């Protein structure tokens, strides 16, 4: 004969399972990935994939330092590429060798806050104005991907942003867009030889990384 205690335990277990299934189907636990609530996502949650690293597992550069073009010319080869931004007489260069490891640089140029982004999987480098409604936004790497492209998050609201779509896809800022800031993807040495006063992102990032090696070495070199 089954004891009352055993029956009570069975009822408790079944109740817990039913509750979990209800939460999952109603957009609860099933819509949480890497700590981000995707309940109001404007893209299919099933299409948002974990890339491997956890949130901030790929560290953004939030206090970038720069070196001179003359110093940088000694560090990089003829095939090295970079994202280049020029504004109000100031030229800044972000080597792909560094961007491969960090993906995001929170920076400013001539007083304008910018977000330099690079997705190693896609080879896409895009720069955005890092301000919305007059407020500066600071971004991190979520560890999530949409169509194999990086999903960023702003630290102010934890909203997810798609580099590919140029908009927030979930969270408080969902549906809002960032303005694209003009940039170029160029051979680093060629550019520096023509622009000797350009500033180049330093490898002194505060993180121990081998910037001579690519983290995704199996992919074609961008």
Tell whether 145 is covered by a domain. yes
Give the β-pairing of 199-201 and 66-68.
antiparallel
The pLDDT, as a whole number, for residue 65 is 98
Q: 146 and 118 in one domain? A: yes
Q: 80 and 3 in one domain? A: no
Domain boundaries, position 187 = 47-201
The pLDDT, as a whole number, for residue 17 is 39
**CB neighbour list of residue 58: distance below 8 Å, 6 or more residues apart:** 101, 102, 103, 141, 143
Tell whether 96 is covered by a domain. yes
Contact 81, 222 (CB under 8 A): yes
The pLDDT, as a whole number, for residue 214 is 81
Q: Residue 124, CB half-sphere, CA atoms under 13 Å: how many?
A: 16
Q: 191 and 82 in one domain? A: yes
The pLDDT, as a whole number, for residue 76 is 97
What are 32's strand-pairing partners?
A: 37
Q: Is 99 strand, coil or helix?
A: helix
Contact 139, 130 (CB under 8 A): yes
pTM, entire model: 0.83
User: How many domains is the chain partitioned into structurally?
Assistant: 2
Q: 95 and 140 in one domain? A: yes
**CB neighbour list of residue 147: distance below 8 Å, 6 or more residues apart:** 47, 164
**pLDDT tens digits in sequence order for the chain, 222 residues long:** 555 555 455 444 544 434 343 333 333 446 899 999 999 999 999 999 998 889 999 999 999 999 999 999 999 999 999 999 999 999 999 999 999 999 999 999 999 999 999 999 999 999 999 988 788 999 999 999 999 999 999 999 999 999 999 999 999 999 999 999 999 999 999 999 999 999 999 999 999 999 988 886 544 444
Q: 113 and 26 in one domain? A: no
Nearest to 152 by CA among 14, 40, 55: 55
Q: 184 and 136 in one domain? A: yes
Tell whether 219 is covered by a domain. no
């Amino acid at each position: 004969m089954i004891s009352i205690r055993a029956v009570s335990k069975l009822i408790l277990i079944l109740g817990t399972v039913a509750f979990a299934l209800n939460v999952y189907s109603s957009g609860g636990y099933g819509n949480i990935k890497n700590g981000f609530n995707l309940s109001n996502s404007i893209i299919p949650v099933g299409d948002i994939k974990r890339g491997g690293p956890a949130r901030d597992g790929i560290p953004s550069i939030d206090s970038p330092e720069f070196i001179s073009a003359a110093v940088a010319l000694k560090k990089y080869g003829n095939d090295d590429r970079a994202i280049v931004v020029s504004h109000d007489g100031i030229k800044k260069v972000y080597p792909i060798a560094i961007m491969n490891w960090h993906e995001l640089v929170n920076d400013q140029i001539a007083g304008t806050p910018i977000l330099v982004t690079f997705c190693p999987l896609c080879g896409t480098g895009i720069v955005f104005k890092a301000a919305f409604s007059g407020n500066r936004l600071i971004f991190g790497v979520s560890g999530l991907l949409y169509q194999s492209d990086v999903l960023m998050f702003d630290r102010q609201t934890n909203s997810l942003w798609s580099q590919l779509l140029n908009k927030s896809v979930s969270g408080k800022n969902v549906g809002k867009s960032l303005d694209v800031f003009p940039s170029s993807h160029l051979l680093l040495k060629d550019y520096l030889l023509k622009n000797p006063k350009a500033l180049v992102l330093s490898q002194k990032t505060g993180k121990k990384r081998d910037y001579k090696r690519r983290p995704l070495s199996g992919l074609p070199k961008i």
